[in-house]
């Protein structure tokens, strides 16, 4: 015989829920938003996610797609990095450095990466054009 029990976050007052199959719901506290940008100039940083005062960002996925403008013999090297508003051109920490081929796609899911409060997610490429989609949400 079961005993009625609640699992409650003391800070927020939120209570865990039981879902289909009597499993305890464990998952992200918020659905992901999408943030899109085109890296259409070589070696020019582009803002993907803006840094918000008092809020960090939880990155949950990345899709990178190269178009036919990328050299067929040399992949574009794409760098996603953290930066501050004071210097968006300088990486405080690289998130991802990966080659993207002509008409190629890289899809990374299942990520749970916390970006500190006020930090921007920037990206640049060594060869245009690369399309970037970042999934995630702002955290308090």
Place of tokens 């992949």: 75
CA distance 136 to 44: 23
Show the tokens assigned to 89. 């051109």
Domain interval for residue 119: 28-139
Domain count, the chain: 1
Place of tokens 């998952």: 27
CA distance 17 to 52: 30
More confident residue, 45 or 28: 45
The answer to whether position 1 is within a domain reads no
The answer to whether position 97 is within a domain reads yes
Alpha carbon of residue 102 to chain centroid: 23
The answer to whether position 12 is within a domain reads no
State the pLDDT at residue 52.
93
Q: Are 100 and 11 in contact (CB under 8 A)?
A: no
pLDDT band at residue 1 under the 50/70/90 scheme: low
Identify the CA nearest to 132 among candidates 58, 33, 39: 39
CATH of the domain at 49: 2.60.120.230
The answer to whether position 129 is within a domain reads yes
The answer to whether position 92 is within a domain reads yes
pLDDT in tens, 64-95: 999 999 999 999 999 999 999 999 999 999 99
pLDDT of 42 over the 90 cut: yes
pLDDT in tens, 102-131: 999 999 998 989 999 999 999 999 999 999
CA distance 37 to 122: 10
The answer to whether position 61 is within a domain reads yes
The answer to whether position 14 is within a domain reads no
The answer to whether position 71 is within a domain reads yes
């Amino acid at each position: 015989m079961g005993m009625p029990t609640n699992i409650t976050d003391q800070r927020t007052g939120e209570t865990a829920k039981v879902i289909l199959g009597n499993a305890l719901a464990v998952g992200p506290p918020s659905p992901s938003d999408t943030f899109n940008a085109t890296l259409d100039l070589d070696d020019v940083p582009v803002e993907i996610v803006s840094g918000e005062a008092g809020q960090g960002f939880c990155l949950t996925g990345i899709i990178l797609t190269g178009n036919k403008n990328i050299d067929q013999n040399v992949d574009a090297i794409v760098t996603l990095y953290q930066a501050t508003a004071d210097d968006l051109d300088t990486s405080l920490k690289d998130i991802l450095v990966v080659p993207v081929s002509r008409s190629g796609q890289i899809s990374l899911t299942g990520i749970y990466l916390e970006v500190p409060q006020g930090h921007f997610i920037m990206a640049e490429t060594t060869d245009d054009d690369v399309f970037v989609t970042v999934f995630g949400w702002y955290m308090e």
